[in-house]
Chains A and B, each alone.
Chain A
């Protein structure tokens, strides 16, 4: 049986500052080596100041993944030399002397499959290496320390995945969960990274490192399974090793570095006292935690009678569910859910489009109310939504500007309907004997009004006219 385990690194991108100093956690906005200070550069004499907010957020992640949460947490030093590591040790957490990381064992359901979480730890991200020069002889390594010290949460799973599809489903659920918690924006480049370990029946465990995105992770796992299976079928032994994901060629390559042989000489970080997270603190954190995706979904279905599938899509995406939460009333909830899932999602399907979008919760509420009051047809609503996203203008303004309002004036409508009846004598006769076919005539009215006729009113007037 194929066994896959994951080690996911998630930056707490929504925090204000780095894990041990007041430099910004959002390092992406800075020029090279502009987001640094004596602490994150590890200058002589500097000391780490633990960001309590990071501990809170990491603990929330642990709770959301149903992990045990130790009452006292500690930090350890992982000692190794690397140019992206200003102190030549990383401050991280460790559970080999008892559970002292923010999260112990936990689990999460992926469909019907239970994926066990081994542990969750809070640690600092190293700097970023930039390689310049083409041949290995004149290669230069440049270091950007802007990222050094960014709060990172490592989530380690048991080898519970059986195929790449489960891995992908898990990652989708996980990134939705992290986004919903408000701790991280998974769409930011480099905010979520992962290592995987893969073993097939009869083979040894192979670790894959250097996978830059979740998208590539699935590919890397897929490649690795295929590679191992082909070795196995030719009776070549699969050795235990670390392989690197080659981003350009989309293959895994055996690492020559003896990473496995490194001895990290872990020991307690004396500069950071133990942090107590007692039941009262946990209780407070629980209250601060946003509603979980599953609870939202349940509420959408039971309270607003929103269909299961719609509720599923709506609840799992924080951007849309926040819009929904801030816009709906009991009466228009279902309509809003519809607008979001059938129309809006198509309009803002990328991060860039979302950021550029001018839509507010008020727009959505206005639009749903207008549909329900017959002020605007669903068809026109779609056009209005497009305009809202683009310009952010008030709905009433857009209706006037683009002449999207329904023709709901009976006398105005009557003129058009009479035209249709005289143009379509056959259809009128048919409708008399078979009332079902009246829809054809409604369609004709819609055509003439460019979809702006109030559908209910049109039907009523049509019926009356035909019966006469």
Chain B
């Protein structure tokens, strides 16, 4: 069984009767069993997947209507709720939390007959960019097991990259889909804020985060987006995309498009290999008929500081509900009064979450908000104005997804500030609500490099068209696992 086929090819093959969902799922489970001990992408695997696949095969055979996924195995980041299954956010705090409902993306994919092959690893509550902050241990980069796969949706990127599933859903608060996509050489999309319902996504920084598909090809990404995007009455922040089809015009090319190269995102500190890959990408895009020139977004300098201030503030509030009173882990209430109990219960948060909780308690507090939180909001507003100005002039903006190459596990975990700076190219899309995508572009010394495009709000179509055009210009080696 060839597990390396794309999502669209999978659909084709099943429809043509060349493969069955059951065989594909069986092989996928076998693959997970053989490689995941090394990779640790999965936190748990769906034991019922084979039965579900059989059901779908039955439907196909009996000529019933079958959803567009035809039993395709999809992995889900463990911060999205699937009814009656554990959703831990890779935290000890939610060790025993079984979601009583489906996230909107889950019910949409269920209706399309997707099979959720398992829940995948992440940094605890999506705070981090290496998966090293997972309470259940880090995932490994399939390109080199000594390296981090990126994060926080590391499990999503690893599982897709190492053929443990066909596609995955991650979430992106400051680059958490794009960063691991870049590090693992897969495609990762952070859509316009509000394009995909967040209902059932466990909030970290709710005003800027989005769910995003992680796939092996750009077309697959558009295919998945078609199924999960759009208005949801359970999420008041969703926007109506009028059932836009992101796949049909994907081959439109980028001739005549104007692309701005964000100066601040290829500044000092950018790895030379990343820089040269970016230049190569630019020349390839120019060959396809696009015009590229540098553009400055001054506020990018302050974006990471603003990002951490805003996310810590929102996280401090979003994670306050984890007092272990109504759900969580086993810890008796006996003998405690409220404050001492929750103080003790909340010690189950890991170090990075604790660090951000403390920052989140401080930066918006009375007497400090003006210096930190409110200032961060000003940066966010100014950056949004700047990028809106830029989109008057350019159709798309471009940068390397991450200014550095993947690094070794353990290399930066003790240096939070160094780690924070890895986010410099990705947080802008979140702070401004714009869509952005990371496309695999090069391999340098066996380590992947991704290129990031940004588009104006609700312009996913053009974003995916550009990503597809660039993808077609490269032939990358296969993942060595």
Distance (whole angstroms) from the CB of B78 to the closest CB of chain A? 11
Contacts of B81 in A (CB 8 A): 44-45
CB-based contact A49/B233 at 8 Å: yes
* Contact among B200, B208, B366 for A45, CB-based, below 8 A: B200
A271 on the interface (CB 8 Å rule)? yes
- A112 adjacent to chain B (CB < 8 Å): no
Is B101 a contact partner of A38 (Cβ separation < 8 A)? yes
Check if A43 sits within 8 Å of B203, measured CB to CB.
no
Evaluate contact between A83 and B338: CB separation under 8 angstroms. Answer: yes
CA distance A271 to B101 in the complex (A): 19
With a cutoff of 8 Å between Cβ atoms, the chain A residues found around residue B200 in the complex are 45-46
Map CB proximity to B onto A252-285 as digits: 1 under 8 Å, 0 otherwise: 0000000000010111101111000000000000
Q: Is the CB of B325 within 8 A of A83?
A: yes
Interchain pairs with CB closer than 8 A, number: 98
Query: Contact at A47–B321, with CB atoms within 8 Å?
Result: no
A47-B202 in contact (CB<8A):
no
Chain A window 25-52, contacts with chain B (Cβ cutoff 8 Å), 1 for yes, 0 for no: 0000000000000100111111111100
Given contacts A88-B323, A270-B207, A271-B206, contact A79 B317 (CB under 8 A): yes
Q: Would you call B316 and A265 a contact (CB within 8 A)?
A: yes
Q: In the complex where A50-B236, A83-B338 touch, is A77 in contact with B365 (Cβ < 8 A)? A: no
**CB pair A86 B234 closer than 8 Å:** no
Interface positions, chain B 68-122, Cβ under 8 Å from A, are: 79-81, 87, 89, 94, 97, 99-101, 103
Nearest Cβ in chain B — how far from A30, in angstroms? 18
Residue tally, chain B, CB below 8 Å to A? 44
- Answer whether residue B313 sits at the interface, using C-beta atoms and an 8 A cutoff: yes
A267 to B207 alpha-carbon distance, docked (Å): 11
Is the Cβ of A265 less than 8 Å from the Cβ of B313? yes
Q: Mark B315-327, 1 if CB is under 8 A from A, else 0.
A: 0110011010111
Chain B residues whose CB sits within 8 angstroms of the CB of A273 once the complex forms: 236-237
A81, B97: Cβ atoms closer than 8 Å: no
> What are the interface flags for B206-226 relative to A under an 8 Å C-beta threshold, 1 for contact and 0 otherwise?
111000000000000000000
Which residues, 183 to 210 on B, are CB-close (under 8 Å) to A? 198-203, 206-208
A46 to B321, CA, bound (A): 12
For B236, give its contact among A49, A77, A82, A83 (CB under 8 Å). A49
The chain B residue sitting closest to A82, CB to CB, is B338
Instruction: Decide if B342 touches A47 in the complex (CB within 8 Å).
Output: no
Query: In the complex the two chains form, is B326's CB within 8 Å of A265's CB?
Result: no
Residues of B within 8 A of A46 (CB): 199-200
In the bound assembly, the distance between CA atoms of A272 and B327 in angstroms comes to 25
Q: Is B364 in contact with chain A by the CB < 8 A criterion?
A: yes
Question: Quick check: is A56 within 8 A (CB to CB) of the other chain?
Answer: no
Residue of A nearest to B99 (CB): A45
In the complex, what residues of A have CB within 8 A of residue B80's CB?
45
**A386 to chain B: which residues have CB within 8 Å?**
none
Give the docked Cα–Cα distance between A263 and B203 (Å). Answer: 22
Contact in complex: A267, B320 (CB < 8 Å): no
Give the shortest distance, in Å, between B23 (CB) and chain A (any CB): 34
Say yes or no: A81 contacts B323, CB within 8 Å: yes
Question: Are A44 and B87 neighbours in the complex by a CB distance under 8 Å?
Answer: yes
Count A-side interface residues using an 8 Å CB cutoff. Answer: 31
Closest Cβ–Cβ distance, residue B335 to chain A (whole Å): 10
Roughly how many angstroms separate A396 CA and B331 CA in the complex, as a whole number?
71
**Is A48 touching B236 in the complex (CB atoms < 8 A)?**
yes
Tell me if A87 is interfacial: C-beta within 8 Å of chain B: yes
Please report the C-alpha to C-alpha distance between residue A267 and residue B364 in the assembled complex, in whole angstroms: 8
Distance between Cα atoms of A273 and B198 in the complex (Å): 14
A258–B53 Cα gap in the complex (Å)? Answer: 59
- Interface membership of B410, Cβ < 8 A: no
Instruction: Mark A50-75 against chain B: 1 for CB-CB distance below 8 A, else 0.
Output: 10000000000000000000000000
- Most chain B CB within 10 A, of A79, A87, A141, A270, is at A270
Whether B316 and A79, one on each chain, are in contact in the complex, defined by CB atoms closer than 8 angstroms, is yes
A43-B203 Cα distance, complex, nearest whole Å: 11
Q: Hey, which chain B residues are within 8 Å of A170, CB to CB? A: none
Is residue A89 contacting chain B, with contact meaning CB distance below 8 A? yes
B235 within 8 A of A: yes
Residues 78 to 96 of chain A near chain B (Cβ within 8 Å): 79, 81-83, 86-89
Report yes or no: A77 in contact with B339, Cβ–Cβ below 8 A: no
* Assembled-state Cα–Cα distance A366/B164 (Å): 81
Q: Among B201, B233, B339, B365, which residue has its beta carbon within 8 angstroms of that of A81?
A: B339
Q: Are A87 and B236 in contact (CB under 8 A)?
A: no
A47 to B233, CA, bound (A): 10
Whether B327 contacts A43 by the Cβ 8 Å rule is yes
**Are B317 and A49 touching (Cβ within 8 A)?**
no
Contact residues of B between 279 and 317, Cβ < 8 Å to A = 313-314, 316-317
Question: A267 and B87: CB pair below 8 A?
Answer: no
Kindly state whether residue B373 has any CB partner on chain A within 8 Å. Answer: yes
CB distance from A398 to the nearest CB of B (A): 52
> What residues of chain B lie closer than 8 Å to A42, measured between beta carbons?
321
Question: A265 contacts B317, CB within 8 Å?
Answer: yes
Complex Cα distance, B207 from A42, in Å, reads: 17
A48 and B321 CA atoms in complex are apart in Å by 14
| 17 sampled A-B residue pairs with Cβ under 8 A | A38-B101, A43-B100, A45-B81, A45-B199, A45-B201, A46-B200, A47-B234, A47-B236, A81-B339, A87-B320, A89-B320, A265-B316, A265-B369, A266-B364, A268-B207, A271-B236, A271-B237
Given contacts A45-B80, A86-B326, 18 further A-B contacts (CB under 8 A): A38-B100, A43-B326, A44-B81, A44-B89, A45-B79, A46-B199, A46-B200, A47-B206, A47-B234, A79-B320, A81-B339, A81-B342, A82-B338, A87-B320, A143-B325, A263-B366, A265-B364, A265-B369
- B residues contacting A by CB (< 8 A) are 79-81, 87, 89, 94, 97, 99-101, 103, 198-203, 206-208, 233-237, 313-314, 316-317, 320-321, 323, 325-327, 338-339, 342, 361, 364-366, 369, 373
